[in-house]
Amino acid sequence: MQKLQAASLAALAAISILFAATGCESNSASATPLESSNTSGSAPAPTATPAESPTLSEPAESEPAPVTEELVSEAPADPSPGTSLAQLETIAIKGRAPKTGYDRDLFGRGWKDPDRNGCDARNDTLNRDLSSIVHKPGTHGCVVASGVLADPLTGTTIHFVRGNATSTAVQIDHVVPLSDAWQKGAQQLVSEEREALGNDPLNLLATDGPTNGAKGDGDAATWLPPNKSFRCEYVAIQTAVKAKYGLWMTQAEHDAIHRILTASCPDQPVPTDEGRVAVPIAAEPLPVSQPLKDAPSGPVPAPVSGADVFYKNCTAVRATGAAPIRVGDPGWDTKFDRDGDGVGCE
């Protein structure tokens, strides 16, 4: 009996041990989902450090990578001296004045001879710009009877023949139109200055007649040559003319010229002024004085003290009644003698 009780107790102990082992395995198998749940009170799962997980990326707050040279845009350099871009910076920018009072004859009635070479400005320009020229007999090589023009505005070739029905095929273009000049400062010039502007070779080009007509009085903001390869030179001439005569530009005109020069030809040189046409010096108005009641009438006599006499220009010479002025006269200056014959302000 005692042996039977002992065997029973041993069997019960074995069953208890087996049950306990089975219970432990069940708990360990369910440990992972319990630990990863978000149930309140459970400990957060440990995270790996960068040393333990080398594949982790750098935090977003890390320092930015250095900028490469290709991404850095340098500020534009100052224009080189002697370029049209540099000259453009000297031109004043203002609004367009009214066209009121404009007349072509205010810039000289017909073509003049500003360089005093015996040939008018139109024929001087034809002689300069055409090739294969034939002159009209008896004109001392001045009047062009025929020639060939490589037109800068269109890039085409034009055969010019002088005549009532054919001369208009080639016209003389004022690169800065006279109406545009009138609205941008020429109203303030004296007549001699406007006449010089209207006949200055710097401002003249022999061009295709219809194209010149289509241009009208447009500035660079509203009209450019169809021949794109000539646009750099074209706006450079406009800039040089406005600088020479103290004219201004509108903001739109200035910006259009600046875009062309910077995009295509930042080193475009200032055109050479070989026309031998100087801008006449504007006369300063003489002081207005009230005449004495008993003052004799008649022209004001010229000063007689040569050492102290100075005339700014021919207008001043004529105002004192000293014109024409000759070598040795009080106030004489070679600037009055354009043709070198010893007589000035004729």
344 to 36, 202, 331, 333: CA distances (angstroms) = 110, 25, 11, 8
E strand map for the chain: 130-135, 144-150, 157-161, 170-174, 204-208, 325-326, 343-344
CA dihedral (231, 233, 234, 240) positive or negative: positive
Q: Read off the pLDDT of residues 233-290 as tens digits, 9 standing for 90 and up.
A: 999 999 999 999 999 999 999 999 999 999 999 999 999 998 778 888 655 444 544 4
pLDDT computed for residue 79 by the predictor: 87
Q: Read off the pLDDT of residues 167-201 as tens digits, 9 standing for 90 and up.
A: 999 999 999 999 999 999 999 999 999 999 999 99
Contact 130, 144 (CB under 8 A): yes
Residue 167 to residue 68: CA distance in whole angstroms: 62
Of 327, 328, 325, give the one whose Cα is nearest residue 311: 325
Structure tokens at 72: 């850095």
pLDDT computed for residue 61 by the predictor: 41
pLDDT computed for residue 35 by the predictor: 40
What is the per-residue DSSP string for 117-163? SSS-HHHHHHHHHEEEEEEPTTSTT-SEEEEEEE-TTT--EEEEE-S
Residue with tokens 């995270």: 47
pLDDT computed for residue 43 by the predictor: 44
Contact 180, 107 (CB under 8 A): no
Residue 345 to residue 204: CA distance in whole angstroms: 26
Q: Tell me, what DSSP letter sits at residue 93? A: B
Residue 167 to residue 260: CA distance in whole angstroms: 33
Q: Looking at the DSSP assignment, which residues form a beta bridge with residue 249?
A: 93
Residue 241 to residue 176: CA distance in whole angstroms: 7
Mention every residue, 6+ apart, whose C-beta is less than 8 A from residue 190: 280, 282, 283, 315
**In tens digits, what is the pLDDT along the chain, a chain of 346 residues?**
454 455 555 555 554 444 444 444 444 333 343 343 343 444 444 444 444 444 333 344 444 444 443 333 343 568 899 999 999 999 999 999 999 999 999 999 999 998 889 999 999 999 999 999 999 999 999 999 999 999 999 999 999 999 999 999 999 999 999 999 999 999 999 999 999 999 999 999 999 999 999 999 999 999 999 999 999 999 999 999 999 999 999 999 999 999 999 999 999 999 999 877 888 865 544 454 444 444 445 554 444 444 467 777 888 877 787 777 776 778 878 777 666 666 777 7
Contact 325, 344 (CB under 8 A): yes
Of 273, 266, 207, give the one whose Cα is nearest residue 232: 266
Residue 61 to residue 81: CA distance in whole angstroms: 49
The separation between the first and the last C-alpha atoms of the chain, rounded to the nearest angstrom, is 166
